[in-house]
Amino acid sequence: MKSSSRFSAIALVVSLACPAGVRADGEPSLYQRLGGEPVVTRVIEQTLRRVADDPAANRSLEGVDLQKLDAKIVLQVCALAGGGCTYVGDDMKAAHDGMNIGQREFYALVEALRDALDANGVGEREKNELLRLLAPMKRDVVTR
């Protein structure tokens, strides 16, 4: 599937599953401030592609269907950032069990994510809020 077609398919799934979220105080959710579905989808896709192309970090992605992983992570970010999605995938501990992921791989993913957020015009406040939401996952992902 061509990249643009894959992006469109993921975008459609996410748009149907993730209504735009507004916080109880009427302020836009972090998901909206990140740029919503189009930006979150691009950021995740760019992040995973960069890690997949990095020989120092791609071991844990060997044999993984990146299109399915893209969609799962987009839904997870949508749910975490108040976009109105419900993430129904495995928890991080179960999803990464036995993968033997080290610090180097984890930080390569974080760097790729930061760069993708910057490349898509996400502001510092939003970037830091998202990274704070994702940071606790490290203890369930890094096992060596």
Q: How much of the chain exceeds pLDDT 90, in percent? A: 63
Mean predicted confidence (pLDDT) in 105-112: 94
CATH of 3-141, one of 3.40.50.2000, 1.20.81.30, 1.10.490.10, 3.40.50.1450: 1.10.490.10
Q: Which two tokens stand for residue 120?
A: 């898509």
Residue with the bigger pLDDT between 94 and 122: it is 122
C-beta separation of 93 from 140 below 8 A: yes
Dump pLDDT digits (tens) for 9-51.
Answer: 444 444 444 445 665 677 899 999 999 999 999 999 999 999 9
